[in-house]
Amino acid sequence: MPLQIRASRFTKPGRTRAQANTAVLTGPANSWVQQIATLANEYKYQCSAGALMYEDKMSNQGLRIEAPSLMKEFTDHTQFGTDPEGLLFYHTDTDFDMDGLGDIKYKVFWNDETPRVVRIDFLPPREGSTRFASFISRDTGKLGDDFYWQWSPTSSGQWQPAERTTSAAWLRKITGAGNTVALTIDSIHKSAVFTVPDETAIAISGTFYFKDLCDLDGECVADYDADRLLFYPKKDLDKLIGVFFPKANGPGIPIDDQGIDQWIPPTPPIANWLGGKAILDNNGGFKIQT
Of the candidate ranges 46-55, 137-146, 246-255, the one whose mean pLDDT is the lowest: 137-146
Final residue of a structural domain among 126, 161, 196: 161
* Backbone phi, psi, residue 70, to 5°: -90, -10
Question: Has residue 192 got a pLDDT over 90?
Answer: yes
Say whether both 189 and 151 belong to one domain.
no
Average pLDDT over residues 207-220: 89
Please check whether residue 3 lies inside any domain of the structure.
no
pLDDT of residue 142: 57
* Backbone phi, psi, residue 95, to 5°: -65, -20
Average pLDDT over residues 228-252: 82
Question: Has residue 171 got a pLDDT over 80?
Answer: yes
Question: Has residue 170 got a pLDDT over 90?
Answer: yes
| pLDDT bracket for residue 37 (50, 70, 90) | very high
Please check whether residue 2 lies inside any domain of the structure.
no
Of the candidate ranges 80-94, 110-124, 167-181, the one whose mean pLDDT is the lowest: 80-94
Say whether both 136 and 242 belong to one domain.
no
Question: Has residue 139 got a pLDDT over 50?
Answer: yes
pLDDT of residue 85: 78
Give just the sign of the alpha carbon dihedral 62, 190, 220, 6.
Answer: positive
30, 23 contact by CB (below 8 A): no
| pLDDT bracket for residue 5 (50, 70, 90) | very low
Say whether both 98 and 212 belong to one domain.
no
Say whether both 84 and 208 belong to one domain.
no
pLDDT of residue 153: 59
Could you tell me which residue, 124 or 227, shows the higher pLDDT? 124
Please check whether residue 17 lies inside any domain of the structure.
no
pLDDT 10s digits, 223-238: 887 778 889 888 887 6
Say whether both 156 and 172 belong to one domain.
no
Of the candidate ranges 130-134, 147-151, 238-242, the one whose mean pLDDT is the lowest: 147-151
Say whether both 76 and 191 belong to one domain.
no
Nearest alpha carbon to residue 196 among 184, 180, 182, 183: 180
Nearest alpha carbon to residue 133 among 124, 122, 117: 122
Please check whether residue 119 lies inside any domain of the structure.
yes
* Backbone phi, psi, residue 11, to 5°: -55, 135
Final residue of a structural domain among 161, 177, 201: 161
5, 145 contact by CB (below 8 A): no
Average pLDDT over residues 283-289: 75
pLDDT 10s digits, 55-102: 655 556 678 888 888 888 888 865 555 456 789 999 998 998 876 667
Say whether both 116 and 218 belong to one domain.
no
Please check whether residue 120 lies inside any domain of the structure.
yes
Say whether both 135 and 183 belong to one domain.
no
Say whether both 74 and 135 belong to one domain.
yes
Say whether both 32 and 62 belong to one domain.
yes
Burial call 50-85: b when 16+ CB within 10 Å, e when fewer? bbbbbbbbbbbbbbbbbbeebebbbbbbbbbbbbbe
Say whether both 155 and 169 belong to one domain.
no
* Percent share of the chain, pLDDT over 90: 19
pLDDT of residue 117: 87
Does the reported pTM lie above 0.75? Answer: no
Question: Has residue 138 got a pLDDT over 70?
Answer: yes
Could you tell me which residue, 149 or 50, shows the higher pLDDT? 50
Work out how many domains the chain is built from and give that number: 2
Please check whether residue 30 lies inside any domain of the structure.
yes
Please check whether residue 101 lies inside any domain of the structure.
yes
Question: Has residue 47 got a pLDDT over 50?
Answer: yes
Beta-carbon count within 10 A of 48 CB:
13
Q: For position 194, which CATH number holds?
A: 2.40.128
Final residue of a structural domain among 161, 185, 204: 161
Please check whether residue 7 lies inside any domain of the structure.
no
pLDDT of residue 6: 33
pLDDT 10s digits, 267-281: 678 999 998 888 877
**Structural domain span for residue 186:** 165-289
User: Rounded distance, CA 224 to CA 243, Å?
Assistant: 10
Average pLDDT over residues 22-40: 83
Say whether both 48 and 102 belong to one domain.
yes
Question: Has residue 114 got a pLDDT over 70?
Answer: yes
Q: For position 60, which CATH number holds?
A: 2.40.128.480
